Each structure stands twice: as structure tokens, then as C-alpha cells.
Amino acid sequence: MTGKKGGAEVTLEEIRFSYGEMRMHFDLDVPASQIAAIIGPSGSGKSTLLNLIAGFEMPQAGKVLIGGVDVTRLPPAERPVSMVFQENNLFAHLDVEANIGLGRSPKLKLTAADRAAIADAIARVGLTGKEKRKPETLSGGERQRVAIARALVRNRPVLLLDEAFASLGPALRVQMLDLVKALHAETAMTVLMVTHHPEDALHMDSLLFFLENGMIAASGNAKDLLSETGPEALKRYMGTTA
């Protein structure tokens, strides 16, 4: 669990996917160990994009490559990714330790090395002393820390965050972004995060992918895209043009 592990490049090649009338078409490349924010209006396809990478949805055409390997037909468990959702990441009947342990072993058959990794992850996300707590006794921020710790013990090179901090207040959201930043600095994992807050991308000094109607309408460095010289579509979304 310690030291730089490195992330994996994430590539979507000519991906086609549709839900009824809603057609999506994604071409995207996130270099290894980068942080990328995905923003866009509600219904533009942000969650679908992450689900295609994680394997919860299968494209009708195109390829998903992770670390240069074609994972398009692999089930989620076999892909080198972890995903954290906005809610419902935890099992209510299991304590913090066990919820995190599931990231190591779905049947919670934990070795000494697993237990050490879990303790390490608990310390890294600042939950030491809360190992035996049940999710209902934790705050929203603490619950998301547990979910992140579980992703950490999975030790996968790609972390997907689907509005993982959306239900938290602004100060806590920034705290969680800082946690991800610190973990990223340690592990060099590739991070793709869906957010409704463009300022999150600036905070993370990340790449930015702006989605509109199931397509990537703009991409680049967040600082450039969100500047005055950024694309009109993004300005409209931000409400900075009439």
C-alpha cells in the first residue's frame, strides 16, 4: 500500500452507447496518473461515461482501454478500477473495518497483510479509532472517507468518483478533495471525478472534460477552459454569457 504505484491511462475509443433516444458518443484519453474532472449539465452522460469505464454498462460499439489493455468485455470486478458513488457505498450491518475489508476480500477472508493494509487506509483517511463504528453512527463525510479507504485497499490504478462529495457541505467537500489530492500525490493513481462544481476542477488543478448531449464538447486543462478565453459552450454552462 505504500509508495508510488502509478496510475493507468484511460482511453475511450469511438464509444457508442444509447439509452432509448439518448445517444452518446465518447472519445477520451486521460493519461496515466492525471486527475480529470467531468462536468456538464444534468443528463449529459457523466455517470454513463464512468459506468462505461467501470464496466457497469457495455458499449454498443468502440473500445475501453485501461493501461493500454482492452477491457471492453470484462466485468466490473476484473477491471483495474475502483468507484465511489454519492451514496449507498456502505453496508449498514458492517462496521468501518469490515466495510473497508470488502475492498480486499468480498467474503472478508482477510490475511495479516490485508489487515495491515486496512489499518493503513483507515489512518490515511483519518478514521483511526472509528474502526468498530457502524455507518449510521458516522457523519456523511466520514462515510465517504470509508468508501475512499475501501477504494484504496483495492489498490487499483484508476479511481472513479461519481459525485462522491455532492451531498456534503462546501467546506467538507473541499476537505475531501484535499484528501483525494493527497492520496493522489502518494499513489499516483489516475482519478476521474464527476462533479457539478467546475471550481472543483480548479481546486484539483486537473484536466477537464465538458459533456453536452452525450458528447465531449470541450477538453483540456481546467485553468484554460474555465478562463475568459474558454469555449462558449462552457461559458454558457457556467452562466457567464447571456
Closest distance of CB 23 from ligand ATP, Å: 10
- What is the closest distance, in whole angstroms, from the C-beta atom of residue 43 to ligand ATP in the complex? 4
Using CA atoms, how far apart are residues 142 and 71, in angstroms rounded to an integer? 32
Among 33, 44, 89, 99, binds ligand ATP (CB under 6 A): 44
Considering the rule CB under 6 A, would residue 58 count as an interface residue with ligand ATP? no
The per-residue b/e assignment along 124-144, b for 16 or more CB within 10 angstroms, e otherwise, is bbebeebeebebeebeebbbb
Answer yes or no whether residue 45 interacts with ligand ATP by CB under 6 A: yes
| Cell numbers standing for residue 74 | 470484462
43 interacts with ligand ATP by CB under 6 A: yes
Nearest distance from C-beta of residue 41 to ligand ATP, angstroms:
7
| One-character DSSP codes across 38-94 | EE-STTSSHHHHHHHHHTSS--SEEEEEETTEE-TTS-GGGSSEEEE-SS--S-TTS
User: Which of 33/219 has CB closer to ligand ATP?
Assistant: 219
Using the minimum distance from each CB to ligand ATP, give the nearer residue, 2 or 42.
42
Amino acid symbol at 48: T
Asked if residue 40 binds ligand ATP (CB under 6 A), the reply is: yes
Give yes or no for residue 195 binding ligand ATP (CB under 6 A).
no
Task: Tell me how far the alpha carbon of residue 147 is from its chain's centroid.
Answer: 11
Q: What gap in Å lies between CA 217 and CA 240, rounded to an integer?
A: 17
CB of 216 to ligand ATP, least distance (A): 12
Using CB under 6 A as the binding criterion, the count of chain residues that bind ligand ATP stands at 10
Q: CB nearer to ligand ATP: give 22 or 116.
A: 22
Which of 22, 61, 69, 116 is in the footprint of ligand ATP by CB under 6 A? 22
Residue from the set 14, 16, 19, 170 that interacts with ligand ATP by CB under 6 A: 19
The nearest distance, CB 40 to ligand ATP, in angstroms, is: 6
**Per-residue b or e along 211-242, where b marks 16 or more CB atoms closer than 10 Å to that residue's CB:** bbebebbbbeebeebbeeebbeebbebeeeee
As a whole number of angstroms, the longest Cα–Cα distance in the chain is 60
Q: Interface residues with ligand ATP (CB under 6 A)?
A: 19, 22, 40, 42-48
